[in-house]
Chain A
Amino acid sequence: MNLALRYRAIHSGKAALIYFLISFSFASVSTCYANQQDISAQTKSDSQSAAAPTGKIFGHVYRADNGQPISKAIVTLFVGDRVPNRTTRTEADGSYSFSNVDPNTYVVEATRSGYVDGYFREDGDKSEPSRIELAAGQARGKIDIRLGLAGVIAGRITDSDGEPVNGLQIFAIRPSYSEGGHMTEFELAQTRTDDRGEYRLAGLKPGNYLIRAGGAAKQTGSITEGRAWTFAPAYFPGFPQAAEAQTVELSAGAEVDAIDLQVVSANRNTYKITVHISGTSKTTAQVSVLLDDEKISDAPPIWNYEHNTVTFAGLTPGKYTLVARLYEELPRSESSAASGPPSETRSRFPYRIRVGSATASIEDADANVSIQLSETGQVRGKLIMENAKNPDFADTEIDLQPRAGLGSVIESSDPQVETEPNGAFTIKNILPGSYFFTLDQREAQRYLKDITCGGKDFAQQPIEIEIGTNLDECRATISSEWGTITGTVLDGGKALSGVYVVAIPQLRALRENPDYTMTKTTDSDGQFQLKVIPGDYFLFAVRPNDQDSYYALDFAERNLASAERAGVKAGDTKSVMLKPATAQ
């Protein structure tokens, strides 16, 4: 089951998150299934006489670092890419063998405590497991698997009195980055503390980790299991935010101890915030509670419709932001009468959002706040196609990508975009915050060259939207004249295939705009061709990694030593030779 997901993970960076979650949480389950199937598979093969001639798959399991054989590794043979077929254990010389194997496609995995799980991969350390096509009667040897040494992070969790916290969930987190430098927390491994508050995260691949504890402590023997104690999330060495957290560096085979954390109970002294909403006669506003700019959802609201208030209980001391949104349906005629003939991009059920926010700081008492609902922001303008006589905007849509502020925190609050065939566009219902203009299109054929609103250029800097912001007459120029960077990645004299080539804008502000950072994988000859928005870039050749760390905003600065520079003009092609970077 986890194997299928791993394959997908290679093709999509976002699926990688699922890959780790699934592969870890299901590892133990699939172990159980494998157990059960051993017996049944065996009885079955005993009762059946072989129809087609069977084959053999054999090989060794070695240490990746020094090539020494690994004994007592569990080797699993998967049919296709998901069904565990059989398991065996390696001998003292690291050898294993599956005989009487039916012709089929197989994947082989090896696991051993103290090592990172690994697959048979023909290309050595490429991330994709290799499929073995076994013909009838065929014997396939040298199906060798190399396992890297795993590390351990261990520590103890105490409460504010220094007493151990039992049953608290601990996560080993790999920060992962997406286009625009957004950091995603990747929960690579998890465990719970024991009655001494101790935890031990084993089997970790080397790398940098954040350690987070928090949530509901599950107390053994408790009749109210699952409710019990709740602790505010904390990152090692004791901060509520990931940004302040200290990275734990784990090298292969190492054990890092004493990663201790103190957590604060969220059970004690909780308070209420009552929000009074004005500026509407309707009673269907959605109210979200943000704590230190992160959305929290574990406070069920209590509504009082008569007084147009909503109360959130169970809140611990802290600084809260309350955001109210009201969706108002608009009469259809109003919308279609607005401008020109109806277009496909226009929403079928026109609505507008009214928004308001307030902050409340809770120390030791309940709080009351008022929110006045006001207009959301709106941006109108026209798309202009560079060097095109009869421009067609059918597949092109300008978009606002939230960078910071409410728009980036409140989920499913994307602004609504309407584009007319003549290029006139309206972006409505924009929550307050900082945004980038981007170009949303089916294929990367065009890019947003520049956009000016009220004489200011927003192609390379974010636009700030406030309550009631209303910008007219924006002019967005769209170009199809890309710059091109081609080249080869060479390690010594050897061309490297399957390597990521990343073009990162030299202008740091542009890295936050997801349109600007480009990646491409080298082909079998180690060659690549990248289409980029004209400008100055740093180029890196990196190994694909589970963190996509090249999207981190400071990646280029941290790795300047292995960067190649390239300035590309519209329509230009630049050729660059790259060496593999050892990413920091």
Chain B
Amino acid sequence: MGVRLPDLNCLNPRRFFAMKISAMISFLTLFSIAAYCASRNSPQSANANSQKAAPAPAQISGHVRRADTGAPIAKAEVTLGSLNANPDATQAPPLIAITDADGAFTINNIRPGTYVVMADRSGFVSGTAYFDQNVENSQTVNLSAGQVLDKVDVLLQPTGVISGTVTDENNEPIAGVIVDAIRLLYAPGGRQQQFRQFRVSTDDQGNFRLFGLESGNYFVRIDARNISAKTGTLVSRIAYYPGTPEVENAQLLRVTPASELRGIHFSVEPLTVYSVTGNVVDASGFGGQSRYQLTATNTSDLANNGGRITRAISSAGGSFTLNGLTAGTYSIEALQLEPESERVSERGSSGSVIVRISDSDVRANIQVSAEVEVSGRIAIENSTGKSLGGFTVMLLPRNSIATNPALNSPRATTERNGTFRIRYVFSGSFDFEIPLDPGMYLKQTVCNGKDYTFAPLAIEGGANVNDCVLTLGTDSGVIKGKVLDGDKPVPNRIVVAIPEEVSKRRLERFGFMRKTNANGEYQISGVIPGDYLLFAVPLNDDHSYFSIDFADRNQADAERVSVKAGDTKTVSLKPATPQE
């Protein structure tokens, strides 16, 4: 998450997060392939290359500085990453320089081509150089033969530290407890996302030190091997600072650059384990003669590769007991089994329930129903003859932090005539979304005569939903303008347009944002007609402007704008100082 990737993606906020991550991966892959090829240069190819006239090499020089103070950073490693299709094998080892005491670096003998300039330094978030303030996607530079490019600055943000201790019930240190720093980020639609940023174990004195943290909001979570008071066995215990198994009750810790948050103390008491007993019930109110597989997943553990799992199989008739569960919130899923087998039935019934265990055994029934189908068609407003095929219609679960991100959203691709059929939709409540190019937007959704444009569709009781009509609008508007501090244009501000209606803020397609250029200008295209609050906020890696209550917390800084179909609105903004 260290690199700010091309903000080009901001044009299409729906894909912002997926692209941010995938772009980083592909970028790194490209780089490592280049490095790999370079290290494997075969004698033959080296030979062949030496016979060709080599182009005049290019040179790049500049400084690495602190993003906050502008002070030079010595001993930073500057790497030139090649994005060329055919990396030249003779350029091994990779193009690297180390900055001197003035933070200056020079890299010589560069083969002409496209490059990214990256800098790393312990204590700082890795960064890349930006080459053109007026172009948003400006992390790459084309070097021509013999070119000498100087004054390339790479700005690095200092990292922060969270430190503390873990002790047991007698206040004695516990060694070997896994401690995670989990970053909380927001995505369009107000979704909260957790990313594990750093993991350490406590030392023999029970101390931990989570360092190298990019500034932002963090949960600190421990995973302690602890004794169960009830069974005498060891059970793994998860707790969020200040000592709760519930992420909802966890305290967010704010890490600021170049600072240390000390004294984060956990006290781990002996554990008690509980059981969940109950019945699986179908629509008729009975479990019938079917058997079910039950899976309890600790919902607090989702950032850690999908959760800690406890399984059991119900008796015929559906009664079940899940043992050995520590306090916490669990999602218990029931899947119908094939008769006389432990295989999960492919089209069987399923259902789930959220269970919270605090200090006693819990009884819970699970309502199951057959997986259903959602079908319908799409239409494009004011258009005839356009192909309606190839659009992806998705059902995004209305989620909180507790929803399993590993679950794929049900989806289907439209036929040429615009019809779609989404199968195997599990129970829950969903929003329709269609990834679209700017200029088109999901304008209206109606199923069985009921409008779901801004309201979630509830799937329950095993009933199919047919006859959905999703209308795509083409009359989106534009919001543009300047961010001015007095008379001074403010570059590198994020301008975010937040719908006034809260119900819209929960929809991914309403996540509109854009960065100002060197002249403080911005332009947001593809704006869905409606009323918006505009904010010009500082670059914020948490994307906290996507949180549902951001606009309400920062009312004072908002500019209002009403965008009608096809409108272009010009709004000047003052820089906002948002409240966290």
Q: Is the CB of A89 within 8 A of B234?
A: yes
A152 at the binding interface (Cβ < 8 Å) = yes
Alpha-carbon distance A34/B234, docked complex (angstroms):
8
A26 at the binding interface (Cβ < 8 Å) = no
Q: Is the CB of A267 within 8 A of B77?
A: yes
Q: Is the CB of B125 within 8 A of A221?
A: yes
Q: Is the CB of B212 within 8 A of A219?
A: yes
Q: Is the CB of A42 within 8 A of B28?
A: no
Q: A221-B126, A223-B3, A223-B126 in contact; A228/B233 too (CB < 8 A)?
A: no
Alpha-carbon distance A195/B235, docked complex (angstroms):
32
Alpha-carbon distance A87/B271, docked complex (angstroms):
14
Alpha-carbon distance A306/B93, docked complex (angstroms):
21
Q: Pick out which of these stretches binds chain B: A125-133, A159-167, A377-385, A471-479.
A: A159-167
B-contact 0/1 string along A150-171, CB 8 Å cutoff: 0010000001010111110000
Q: Which residues in A have their C-beta under 8 angstroms from that of B28?
A: 223
B-contact 0/1 string along A297-311, CB 8 Å cutoff: 000101111100000
A333 at the binding interface (Cβ < 8 Å) = no
Q: Is the CB of B47 within 8 A of A113?
A: no
Q: Which residues in B have their C-beta under 8 angstroms from that of A229?
A: 77, 122
Within 8 A of A (CB), among B188-219: 197-198, 201, 203-204, 209, 211-214
In this complex, the interface size class of chain B, counting residues with CB under 8 Å from chain A, is: 35 or more
B96 at the binding interface (Cβ < 8 Å) = yes
Q: Is the CB of A39 within 8 A of B235?
A: yes
- Nearest CB in chain A: distance from B268 CB, A: 11
Q: Is the CB of B235 within 8 A of A228?
A: no
SS of B interface (majority)? mixed
Please, which residue of chain A has its CB at the minimum distance from the CB of B224? A35
Q: Which residues in B have their C-beta under 8 angstroms from that of A302?
A: 41, 46, 90, 92
- Nearest CB in chain B: distance from A217 CB, A: 7
Alpha-carbon distance A48/B502, docked complex (angstroms):
53
Q: Which residues in B have their C-beta under 8 angstroms from that of A167?
A: 122
Give the A-B pair count, Cβ closer than 8 A. Answer: 150
B568 at the binding interface (Cβ < 8 Å) = no
Q: Pick out which of these stretches binds chain A: B166-174, B390-398, B404-412, B522-530.
A: B166-174
Q: Which residues in B have their C-beta under 8 angstroms from that of A268?
A: 98
A12 at the binding interface (Cβ < 8 Å) = no
Please, which residue of chain A has its CB at the minimum distance from the CB of B168? A72
Please, which residue of chain A has its CB at the minimum distance from the CB of B237? A35
CB < 8 Å: which of B2, B41, B122, B123 contacts A223? Answer: B2
Q: A267-B98, A300-B92, A304-B43 in contact; A87/B173 too (CB < 8 A)?
A: no
Q: Which residues in A have their C-beta under 8 angstroms from that of B77?
A: 224, 228-229, 267
Q: A195-B161, A304-B50 in contact; A38/B235 too (CB < 8 A)?
A: yes
CB < 8 Å: which of B3, B201, B233 contacts A38? Answer: B233
Q: A38-B233, A113-B174 in contact; A224/B120 too (CB < 8 A)?
A: yes
A-contact 0/1 string along B507-521, CB 8 Å cutoff: 000000000000000
Q: Is the CB of A221 within 8 A of B46?
A: no
Q: Is the CB of A195 within 8 A of B225?
A: no
A222 at the binding interface (Cβ < 8 Å) = yes
- Nearest CB in chain B: distance from A274 CB, A: 13
A220 at the binding interface (Cβ < 8 Å) = yes
B323 at the binding interface (Cβ < 8 Å) = yes
A350 at the binding interface (Cβ < 8 Å) = no
Q: A43-B324, A46-B323, A267-B77 in contact; A228/B203 too (CB < 8 A)?
A: no
21 A-B contact pairs sorted by A residue (CB < 8 Å): A31-B176, A31-B225, A40-B310, A42-B323, A43-B312, A43-B323, A46-B323, A86-B233, A88-B232, A113-B174, A166-B122, A167-B122, A195-B122, A195-B159, A221-B124, A223-B120, A223-B126, A227-B79, A267-B96, A302-B90, A305-B47
Binding site for A on B (CB under 8 A): 2-3, 24, 28, 39, 41, 43-44, 46-47, 50, 74-75, 77, 79, 90, 92-93, 96, 98, 118, 120-126, 159, 161, 168, 172-176, 197-198, 201, 203-204, 209, 211-214, 225, 227, 231-236, 310-312, 321-324
Rank and list the top 8 A-B pairs by shortest CB-CB distance, nearest first.
A220-B212, A202-B204, A113-B175, A195-B211, A166-B122, A303-B43, A221-B212, A223-B126
